[in-house]
Amino acid sequence: MKRILCAVTALTLFITLLTACGGPRTALSIGGAQISSEIYTYYYDLVKRSPKTYPGDARENAVNLCKEYVAVNTLAAELSLSLQTKQEASASAWVNQQWKFFSSYYTSLGISKQALMKVRENEERRKLLLDAYYGADGLQPVADEELKAYFSSHFVVFKSINGYLTDTNDVGEPVALSDERVAEIKQQFNTMADNIRNGTSIEEVNTKYLEAQKSAAGGELAASVIDGQNTDYPEGFYEQVAAMKNGDVKVITLSTFLYVVQKMDALGDEGSYFTQYRTDVLQSMKGEDFEKLLQERENSFEVDEKGGTLKRCEKAVDEKHTKESGTAQAVSGAESTGASQPQQTESAT
């Protein structure tokens, strides 16, 4: 009897794991390609976590992302594009980082580490495909001089010392500073800007600032590269930096954020900024054309939805989000998202 009970318990556990989103079954057939429930669940979850990026019907958005996934893989195969060691290493590093912090989240939805790898490899394949069409040796090549001109006019390169006009309390909530303290911080940043204009390097000024703040942060002050679509900085930041001349130093205050900014030559440092961000420049410049190319292929696909499997996957995600939403409300002001779910910083498409 004990053996029978053990066997039943093991079988129940196995079934529970399989039915998190229906197990690794086929959720969609797109142009003859089979999309597993794991891949569909990943994209459906991404849509649910990013309502501003993917407004409207969640299933429709998730299916569209799966169609793009297939379009990228199909076009890459037709051009005999394969990931090299560099791309494989990049994909693996991303997956390992995600799995380190969010493995419990993914496994609760029935998403395996292998499925994450497929998604990330698709993203790396997408970059190869973009270059295969518009790179220097591509099917519709864009000359480097044209790319550099676009980089100079649509991207800004700068170094900055960052500060805040607020403090935080014990639970991470912003707390307003006194008018006197705000005036002190602004004067401090104006003084740092003057020192840089008078010949002190921004790196040296930053080091002294961090020491005064008793901050553990340190090391080299790296240059930042952004375009007008960047959301890491407050609205209006890009425009103010773009209006500066190379080498200029300016204090920029936006809302409760404060910056000492020194603008760099986008094509300076022996072209290293351009080289490092070449793919981003190509995406920004030819992204619309590339999306049309993918869309043409997606439009040719016949899609067969496995309704039962889709519903099970969606139910797992919806229940997860409902539960975590309740938890977030319960902590009332504490860091509610933390490491509970992946924070998507770049598109997975």
How many domains is the chain partitioned into structurally? 2
Tell me, what's the pLDDT at 213? 83
Give yes or no for residue 301 having a pLDDT over 60. yes
Q: 177 and 282: one domain?
A: no
pLDDT digits (tens, 9 = 90+) for 227-256: 999 999 999 999 999 999 999 999 999 999
Q: 262 and 166: one domain?
A: yes
- Among 206, 20, 221, 12, which Cα is nearest to 115's? 20
Q: What is the mean pLDDT of residues 205-215?
A: 88
pLDDT digits (tens, 9 = 90+) for 169-204: 887 788 999 999 999 999 999 999 999 999 999 999
Tell me, what's the pLDDT at 172? 77
Tell me, what's the pLDDT at 327? 53
Is the pTM higher than 0.75? The answer reads yes
- Alpha-helical runs (H) found in the chain: 2-18, 37-49, 58-78, 85-108, 113-134, 144-154, 179-197, 202-212, 237-242, 272-276, 278-299, 307-331
Residue 295 maps to a domain: yes
* CA–CA dist 218, 85 (Å, integer): 32
Count other Cβ atoms within 10 Å, centred on residue 318.
14
Quote the domain boundaries for residue 185.
155-269
DSSP three-state, residue 8: helix
Looking at per-residue pLDDT, the higher value among 83 and 339 belongs to 83
Q: What is the mean pLDDT of residues 55-71?
A: 98
- Among 123, 97, 91, 106, which Cα is nearest to 42's? 106
Q: What is the side-by-side order of every strand in the sheet holding 26-30?
A: 33-36, 26-30, 303-305
Q: 204 and 309: one domain?
A: no
CATH number, residue 227:
3.10.50
CATH number, residue 320:
1.10.4030
What would the two tokens of residue 25 be? 């079954």
Residue 2 maps to a domain: no
